[in-house]
Chain A
Amino acid sequence: MLIIKNLHAEVEGKQILKGIDLTVGAGEVHAIMGPNGSGKSSLAAVLAGREGYNVTEGEVIFEGKDLLEMAPEVRAREGVFLAFQYPIEIPGVSNINFLKTALAEIRAYKNLPPLEAKEFLQLSREKQKLVEFDAKLVNRSLNEGFSGGEKKRNEIFQLAMLEPSLSILDETDSGLDIDALRIVSKGVNKLRSSKNAFIIITHYQRLLEYIVPDFVHVLYDGRIVKSGTKELALELEEKGYDWLKETREKELI
């Protein structure tokens, strides 16, 4: 589904990704862990097409197409979804109209007619229930005045509505209490299928107790320095990121 080859990227002239290789297949959940500043969120930003991130080398192929060539909205229409670490508040844009617009544009891209009002409403209700998203929030302005947990749940609700093939969850667990974490994870687990894939970016192992990954990658200084199964996350948790730094420094010597 996704093939990242030797990806290098910089922000304001500073190299932040220094050769990332990663392959994600349909039905897989990949966790990307790493200390602060290792490039985790930058990888998410590059994949989603955020301005200011310049790819200097390498390529990203998504379902056979060059992802890096696409505008952010085209990536989304092709099926890439980024759950933001800090979802933006947009007063005056209602959550539901925003989703209606997004869904209509994605469907138009796929040559599908927009959903009838009734169908849309039904879909929205069904997904709200699936991810336990408060119906009252659906009609409010987009994220305006939402708590941290509500914002993250809204991201998962949007994910459920738009049904992307590849979802990138950027530190979705940050700022969540244990209940919110459980609800968000439950939502994601319900959405997992053999047809879609997830990249879960997290600093802590905690989230991975709820969303069990197939693969764990450790990002350090702009590169994936270690890959393994879910046991790697536990090892990291136990030994801390310093262990990694030492290993990496030894390698360099």
Chain B
Amino acid sequence: MSTIQEQAIPLFEEIVNGYNSRRSGVAESAELRRARQSAFEKFRLVGFPTIRHEDWKYTNLNKFLKEEYTVAADGSAVGAEGAIGAPAVQLPAAAAIPGLDAYRVVLVNGVWDGVVVGGPLPKGLELKRVAEALQDPAFSGYFENGKWGNHAFPNLNTALFTDGLLLRVNGAIGKPLHIVHYYTAERNLLVQPRHLWVVEANAEVTVVETVHSVSGEVSMLVNGLTEVIVQPDARVDHLVIQAAEAGVRLVNHTTVRQKKKSLYNNYTFTFPGAELIRNDLQLRLEEDHTETHLYGLYLTAGQQLVDNHTLVDHQKPNCFSNELYKGVLLERSTGVFNGKVYVHQDAQKTNAFQQNNNLVISKHATIDSKPELEIFADDVKCSHGSTVGQFNEDALFYLRARGIGEEMAKALLITAFAFDVTEKVKVKVMEDYINHLINQHIPVNNE
């Protein structure tokens, strides 16, 4: 492992050289200060990942790190960019999901302005800026600041994060919470939102996250870190819809810690837009009898690189996990899927299933799919599978033989391929919205 970043990465220099001055004078607990310092040291030693790191083998960041970025220091500094504090942030019309009855909040570069659209929040749903929560002993204990190992991005986030959204759920929340992540900048910017969700015992919530950005000349690197704690018997439906515009590079790390008999469902949909999307979704099944469903659909186009890394870490017995990720790769895009299932020795009676299917439509598109299973218990049911294919010629001919044109037939087949995932979305208007997004990108160009 290199002791210091070998290639000259301007952002690395800026972070390392500016760290002390950036952190000085910030009032925070000694504990957090120590955690930040430790995370910073780890980041400094490891640097940004390169393709020599197994986890980044197929995702080369060089192209995205060649540019210079300003490090967004805190909410007020972001304000200086003209976003926060500006009375009316012009959201793209697409930010609202047609027909979705939800509590909607907008985070501009990770900072919430305190506004909730869609009625006052019910008693069981508490939202707070992370900047405030850090000062509150009731919450500060939840932040997991020392456990990121050598993962560069979570360490970097820990070292420098200042804000994000804290969400605490107590009770069953009838309407979904829709979090709009909106990214905007006037010059190249690194933003590092940090979110924490605590879903208390027996609570139930549906959270929809969408990502939007302003298209423009500038580049934004978003290094997001979200921790989700799902307490015993709690149920969480978590929908993520990623699109944004070219120029945005999203690196998301989400760690979900599931307690006894909890249920967590994740649905991640990625569409053309952002040049780079890397999702690290890690499920820590810390207690027994949990249930987890991970559904993903990535429809990629242009020169886009979309990388989904998932980890399901079965630590305790009698847990069930099921994962289905599907990819449709258009134009010159690249997809990466890495799904790891780790079954500890203690985790007897584990049921863990994983499936990744890919439809590579353009001859210039690429997919790297890598399932990984590591099992140390002997009484388990685990399976994984990965497929890469093109259009089913028989199906295509069948549709054409009924008068359906080739492009339309392909569109139908793509929708059908995605159906296994889209049908899993339990909120009907969301399913319709997602199908609408899929249909925006097809009929397709084979080149």
Q: Which residues from chain A sit less than 8 Å from chain B, CB to CB?
A: 48-51, 71-73, 75-77, 81-82, 84, 87-88, 90-93, 98-99, 101-103, 105-106, 109, 141, 158, 162
Stretch at the interface among B51-59, B70-78, B369-377, B400-408: B400-408
The 6 A-B pairs at the shortest CB distance, nearest first, are namely A92-B416, A92-B419, A76-B403, A72-B400, A102-B402, A88-B398
Contacts A51-B397, A90-B395: A98 and B402 contacting too (C-beta < 8 A)? yes
Mark each residue of chain B from 360 to 401: 1 if its CB lies under 8 Å from any CB of chain A, else 0. 000000000000000000000000000000001111011111
Cβ of A73 and Cβ of B400 under 8 Å apart?
A: yes
Contact A76 B401, beta carbon cutoff 8 Å:
yes
Give bound CA distance, A11 to B34, whole Å. Answer: 73
| Nearest-neighbor residue (CB-CB) of B394 within chain A | A88
CB<8 Å pairs between A and B, sample of 21:
A49-B401, A51-B393, A73-B400, A73-B405, A73-B409, A81-B401, A81-B402, A84-B401, A88-B394, A88-B395, A90-B399, A92-B417, A92-B418, A93-B412, A93-B413, A93-B416, A98-B402, A98-B412, A101-B408, A102-B399, A103-B403
A71, A75, A76 interface centre (most CB from chain B within 10 Å): A76
Q: Pick the residue among B393, B401, B409 that contacts A48 (CB under 8 A).
A: B401
Q: Flag whether B415 is at the interface (Cβ < 8 A).
A: yes
B431 on the A face (CB < 8 A): no
Report how far A179 CA is from B399 CA in the complex, Å: 28
Docked CA distance A101–B398 (Å): 13
Contact flags (1/0) for B404-447 with A, using CB distance below 8 Å? 11101100110111111000000000000000000000000000
The answer for the CA separation of A27 and B416 in the assembled complex, in Å, is: 38
CA distance A72 to B403 in the complex (A): 7
Task: State the B residues within 8 Å of A (CB).
Answer: 392-395, 397-406, 408-409, 412-413, 415-420
Q: Which residues of chain B come closer than 8 Å to A84, judged between CB atoms?
A: 398, 401
Give the docked Cα–Cα distance between A48 and B401 (Å): 7
Query: Within 8 Å CB of B401, what residues of A?
Result: 48-50, 72-73, 75-76, 81-82, 84
Please name the residue on chain A nearest to B418 by beta carbon: A92
CA distance A109 to B394 in the complex (A): 23
A109 closest partner in B (C-beta): B403
Task: Evaluate whether A90 and B403 lie within 8 angstroms (CB atoms) in the complex, with A50-B397, A105-B408 already known.
Answer: no
A72 contacts B408, C-beta separation under 8 Å: no
Q: How many Å from the CB of B51 to the closest CB on chain A?
A: 36
Beyond known contacts A48-B401, A82-B401: 10 more, CB 8 A cutoff: A76-B403, A77-B403, A81-B401, A90-B399, A90-B412, A92-B415, A93-B399, A98-B399, A105-B404, A162-B402
Contacts of B402 in A (CB 8 A): 73, 76, 81, 98-99, 102, 158, 162
Contact: B405 with A91, CB < 8 Å? no
Given contacts A91-B416, A105-B408, contact A73 B394 (CB under 8 A): no
Q: Which residues of A contact B397 (CB under 8 A)?
A: 50-51, 72
Query: How far does the alpha carbon of A109 sit from the alpha carbon of B397 in the complex, in Å?
Result: 19
* Listed residue (A50, A87, A99) with the most chain B CB atoms within 10 angstroms of its CB: A50
The smallest C-beta distance from B418 to any residue of chain A, in angstroms, reads 7
- CB neighbours (8 Å) of A76 from chain B are 400-404
User: When chains A and B are docked, how far (Å) is the Cα of A81 from the Cα of B404?
Assistant: 12
Establish whether residues A102 and B416, one from each chain, have CB atoms under 8 Å apart when the complex forms: no
Q: Which residues of A contact B417 (CB under 8 A)?
A: 92
Chain B residues positioned under 8 Å from A91 (CB to CB): 416, 419-420
A71 to B403, CA, bound (A): 10
A73 touching B404 by the CB < 8 A rule?
Answer: yes
Please give the distance in Å from B209's CB to the nearest CB on chain A. Answer: 25
Given A92-B415, A98-B412, A105-B408, are A162 and B403 neighbors across the interface (CB < 8 Å)? yes
CB distance from B311 to the nearest CB of A (A): 29
Measured CA separation A91–B412 after assembly (Å): 11
Chain A residues with CB below 8 A from B408, complex form: 101, 105
Which residues on the A side are within 8 Å of B400 (C-beta)? 49, 71-73, 76
Contact A92 B420 (CB under 8 A): yes
**Closest chain B CB from A73 CB (angstroms):** 4
Q: Enumerate chain B residues within 8 angstroms of A88, measured Cβ to Cβ.
A: 392, 394-395, 398
A81 to B402, CA, bound (A): 7
The listed residue with most A CB atoms (<10 A of its CB), out of B403, B409, B413, is B403
* Cα of A240 to Cα of B403 in the assembled complex, Å: 38
Asked if B413 and A90 sit within 8 Å, CB to CB, the answer is: yes
**In the complex, which residues of chain A have a beta carbon less than 8 angstroms from the beta carbon of B418?**
92
Max chain B Cβ within 10 angstroms of own Cβ: one of A50, A75, A88, A91:
A88
Contact of A71 among B394, B399, B406 (CB under 8 A): B406
B415 CB contacts on chain A under 8 angstroms: 92-93
Closest to A73 in B: B400
Bound: A141/B394 CA distance, A: 16
Find B403's partner among A50, A93, A105 (CB 8 Å cutoff): A105
Determine the residue in chain A with the shortest Cβ distance to B397. Answer: A50
A78 to chain B, nearest CB (A): 9
**Residues on the B chain within 8 Å of A162, using CB:** 402-403
A47 to chain B, nearest CB (A): 10
Smallest CB–CB gap between A173 and chain B, Å? 20
Cβ of A191 to closest chain B Cβ, rounded Å: 16
A15 to B147, CA, bound (A): 69
- B residues within 8 A CB of A158? 402
CB–CB B404/A90 < 8 A: no
Q: Distance (Å) between the CB of B148 and the closest chain A CB?
A: 39
Q: How far is B412's CA from A73's CA once the two chains are assembled, in angstroms?
A: 15
- The residue of chain B having its C-beta at the shortest distance from the C-beta of A158 within the complex is B402
* Nearest neighbor of A75 in chain B, beta-carbon distance: B401
Q: How far is the CA of A105 from the CA of B302 in the complex (A)?
A: 29
Q: Across the interface, do B406 and A106 meet the contact criterion of CB distance under 8 Å?
A: no
